[in-house]
Amino acid sequence: MTTLKTNKNVPPPPLDDQLCYAVYSAGIAIQRIYKPLLDGMGLTYPQYLVLNVLWREDKQIVGKIAQKLALEPSTLTPLLKRLEVAGFLHRTRNPDNERQVVIALTEQGRQLQNRAGCLGHSLLEASGQSPEELAQLNSQLRHLRDALYSHLDDWDTPE
C-alpha cells in the first residue's frame, strides 16, 4: 500500500478547480435528471442502484450488493426493507448459511428494468454528448475510481 504524502501548509484550490467537486456536483446533477423518472417508478436513486445490481445478477447476498455499491451492508438494510414493502424484491435467509440474507427480484422488480431505460436516454439528451463520449468519460471515471480504491485499506474496488 502506498502512503500518500500531504503538505499541511498549502490551502486547497478554489472549489471549481477541484476534481472531487466536479465529480460530486455532476453526480447530483445526474440524480436530478433521473429524479422525476424515478419518482414515476416509485424509486429513489439508491433503490435504483440496488435494482440495477440485481437486474445484472439476481439472487445475491446483501454483502455482495453492498460491495458492488461501495456501501456498508448495514446501510442497505433499511433500503432493502423499503424495496421489499414496495413489492420489488424479497429477502430470505440463505439455507446454507443463516447469517446471510439473499435478495431476489420479484416479477414486479424485474418489470421495472424495461421502464428504467429512459434514464440513460434522459442523461444522454441532457448532456448534449454522444453515446461514445459518455462511454469514454465513464471509462475514465471507473479507471480513476479503481486507482483511488487501490489506496484504501478497508475497501475493495466496486465491481
- Band (pLDDT 50/70/90 cuts) for residue 5 is low
The pLDDT score that the predictor gives to residue 129 is 96
Average of per-residue pLDDT values in the chain: 92
Q: Which domains does the chain have, with CATH numbers?
A: 15-129 (1.10.10.10)
Q: Is 16 in contact with 23 (CB distance < 8 Å)?
A: no
- Residue 102 backbone phi and psi in degrees, to 5: -95, 130
Residue 92's region, left for phi above 0, alpha for psi from -120 to 50, else beta, is beta
Cα distance between residue 89 and residue 41, in whole Å: 14
Q: Tell me the whole-structure pTM to 2 decimals.
A: 0.87
The pLDDT score that the predictor gives to residue 9 is 85
Task: Assess whether pLDDT exceeds 90 at residue 111.
Answer: yes
How far CA 123 is from CA of 109, 127, 135, in Å, comes to 22, 6, 12
Using one digit for the tens of pLDDT, what is the confidence trace for 10-54? 888 999 999 999 999 999 999 999 999 999 999 999 999 999 999
